[in-house]
Structure 1
Amino acid sequence: MTSRFFKIALVLGLLSAIGPFAIDMYLPALPAIGASLGANSSGVQMSLTAFFLSLGLGQLLYGPVSDMVGRKPPLYFGLGLFALTSVGCALATDIDTLIVLRLLQGLGAAAGMAIPRAIVRDLHTGTEATKLMSLLMLVFSVSPILAPLAGSAVIALSSWRGVFWAVTIAALIGLVLTGSVLKETRPPAARLESSLGSALRGYALLLRDRHYLGLVFIGSFAMGGFFIYLANSPFVLIDHYGLTPTQYSLAFALNAAAFIGMSQFTGRLSERFGLVPVVKVAAIASAVPLVLLLGYYLAGGDELAVLIGLYFVASAFMGLVIPSTSVLALEDHGAIAGTASALLGTLQMLTGAVLMAVSGPFIGNKPLPMVVGMAGGAFIALALTWLTLGGQRAPRLAQAG
């Protein structure tokens, strides 16, 4: 693989990570934000849910627009909007204002989620796309390791408001890299048949494609269980288990490291065994430790080491499921890659937001309700894997991988 290949993966990964960075840096600050703005945990979690909703829905806009006008102009707009609203979040004086600004901030971040996947599909398919997607996921996944630690450091040196000044700087760096490193991968000739009408027809086509939707929702529910952990682990690990924000960040980073490490084997494994078998085995291997974790807490266990250890294993195999299902979902839709990538991202974010909203009233600082949600997401992902990839198309797609 050439240095250009790695450079593109690095930039696309950084662009993809800006939105998650604004989530993960934010996590250690959740209790402090509630105390500073006089908000309860439900109100603070709503600011996180608002970000997820707009991060998901915004991709529906950016995908078709990037098919119509090219990949770079929507990236410029999204990163600019993200930077402006990040400044607003840093200056917010009440929780309602913060929620509205987080909603707009997520809309800006959505550009960095939808468009890099479309660029991957513009450049490559099959195993090469999987390798590039895995490298992108490597950079993207560094965010959950570095962001909470960086967030804890920023909070210690300034306050929770410093988190938003930091992500403003990240967005400005993203703008510079987009202008200086990325080339346009959607040439004018490819845009001729792209319009609002074609976008709507593309969405209609995708929503009728049960195979595409099955693959999307495998990743959606695998990530959905993680989103439940994301929203509730600060309260469980800090309030229930007594970790400091820095210790929480290290515990969170451990799971992210497992995801990153295993995701880098996706290209090799898919080249040897095919994408479909990799997804099937990884979905099982991700669900089993979460079922064991659920059984442990139902039996009355309450050791933090067990929670972190079993979720470490689940996170590792999730690192195979998510990039593989993304590549498979986009494989047959190269002509509308932006639209297909946008719908994929939207459905994943909305699934996570809905699961967080539904589970929110039942989850406090006790681990068992959180673990129920995490295991439920993994179990649904496993069921969808066998419903989607157990049929006649599996061998063909395995060869395509």
Structure 2
Amino acid sequence: MTPTPRPVRRSLPWLLAGLSMIGPFSIDAVFPAFPLIGERFGVDSAGLQQMISVYLITYAVMSLFHGAISDSIGRKPVIVTGMVVYAMASAGAALSTSYTMLLTCRALQGMCAGAGLVVGRAVVRDSLEGAAAQQLMSRVMMIFSVAPVIAPIVGAQLLFLNGWHGIFWVLMGFTLMLAVALVLYLDESHPPAARTPFHPGTLIRGYVSFGQDRPFWPLLISCTVNFAGLFLYISSAPHIVRDLLHLSAQGFPWLFLPVVAGLVCGAWMSGRLASRRSVAFTVNLGYASLLLACALHLLMALITREPVLPWSMLPLVLHGVGVQLAFPTLTLLLLDRFPHRRGGASSVQAFCSLLLCAIVAGVLSPLLSGHMLYLALGASVLTVIGWFSWRWYQKLTRCPPVAQTPSSVVETEWETEITEPR
């Protein structure tokens, strides 16, 4: 049986939000520094985009292991170690003397950053049940939502102080302070009695068993593409702000403020709806907002040859609302398919999501960011895929409330095997 969740500290949402902010800061804060980095190392815009792709690829690959390791040795050691190594990688990036060294440090950052996001989601589900878990997830996402707008603004201001190096020094300082706070205030949510041995063979069999659970697939697809449409705009921010809007580095808030406003509003709505409306209602409302945002993006792109402020950016508010309404619930439903291996399930979801984001940043963004219509079409395709996947899941199950999900999950043979004493 799943252990009864322990009482949580009031600091937990703030700690988890801090961990979630690492990802946006690692990506968005460097956008204003692209021209300086390109000039320093002689790299064109396509090469600079690899700073995002390399980070996301290593983030995705290591995400397959963070959750499984935390299932074996506990959540806290994995998170704290990840933050300390991330801080060291940030220092290395600030001291880089070549673009190869900078990309290597970015790869190391990606390998460690996932420890907070992936394992943090498992901590939420370890600590709370049902509507309370959804509310905590929504609170974390609400706090996390300020990161995308703060990151490019902070990055732009740091250019006046210490150039692009200062961005990485700030990332180092932030993660070191976060590591200290985690040591002092984060309680271990995965006790030794609930832990499972970490073996490569067991890990592979576990991931194979995930694929044998039919409802797991539509949930995985829906979770994976849920954010990808919005991320297409976020990863294309340098092109949108500089080439389409013809603004300086100080113009990034024109894109990020609508995104954050939508994310914060959606997270608040998700928390309010957690104990009032069904899971299906919340996710359907989220996708209705996403589809409406895509329709407005397409309409604005067809009406105007070039983006017009603020109207061309306002649909991003609805896009952010939709993401935050759907994502917390979809994530909890996915984790609850395998209550004894929530870390592993979170790893698989994070891997797929980050791999898709790497493709979006490294392939789709360079191809589509030359015109707002192309971006709108790309985001619309991704959103429609997520919507059909959600409908597929509803056909396979009647989408019970989160609080009822654990009793209906499929307990696989490999879970029984690794939890029984030998």
The TM-score range, normalised by the shorter chain, is over 0.9
Which deviates further from its counterpart, 134-143 or 298-307? 298-307
The match for 1:131 is 135
The match for 1:42 is 46
- Deviations 1:155-174 (CA, angstroms, capped at 9, x unpaired): 12221111000000011012
How far is 1:400 from its partner? 4.9
**Matched position secondary structure for 1:304:** coil
From 42, 65, 71, the equivalent of 2:69 is 65
Which deviates further from its counterpart, 361-370 or 115-124? 361-370
- What amino acid is the match of 1:34? G
The match for 2:336 is 331
2 CA distance for matches of 1:254 and 1:315? 8
From 52, 55, 59, the equivalent of 1:51 is 55
1 CA distance for matches of 2:286 and 2:338? 24
Q: Name the count of aligned residue pairs.
A: 400
- Asked whether 1:289 is paired with 2:293, we answer yes
1 CA distance for matches of 2:368 and 2:99? 21
Matches within 5 A, 1:161-310: 161-192=165-196, 195-302=199-306, 303-310=308-315
The match for 1:142 is 146
Which deviates further from its counterpart, 95-104 or 130-139? 95-104
2 CA distance for matches of 1:296 and 1:250? 16
Higher helix content, 1 or 2: 1
Superposition CA RMSD, Å: 2.2
From 10, 14, 22, the equivalent of 1:10 is 14
How far is 1:132 from its partner? 1.0
- Asked whether 1:92 is paired with 2:96, we answer yes
- Deviations 1:276-313 (CA, angstroms, capped at 9, x unpaired): 22112211221222123123323444223222111212
- Deviations 1:167-205 (CA, angstroms, capped at 9, x unpaired): 000110121011000011111111155544433232112
- Asked whether 1:155 is paired with 2:155, we answer no
The match for 2:409 is none
How far is 1:396 from its partner? 5.8
The match for 1:342 is 347
**Matched position secondary structure for 1:264:** helix
Which deviates further from its counterpart, 121-130 or 187-196? 187-196
- Deviations 1:218-264 (CA, angstroms, capped at 9, x unpaired): 12212111222122121121222122222213531331122112212
- What amino acid is the match of 2:224? S
1 CA distance for matches of 2:46 and 2:122? 35
The match for 1:104 is 108
Could you state the TM-score of these two structures normalised by the residue count of structure 1?
Answer: 0.93
How far is 1:359 from its partner? 1.3
- What amino acid is the match of 1:22? S
**Matched position secondary structure for 2:310:** helix
Could you state the TM-score of these two structures normalised by the residue count of structure 2?
Answer: 0.89
2 CA distance for matches of 1:164 and 1:330? 33
2 CA distance for matches of 1:146 and 1:87? 21
- What amino acid is the match of 1:174? L
Unaligned segments of structure 2, at least 5 residues: 1-5, 407-422
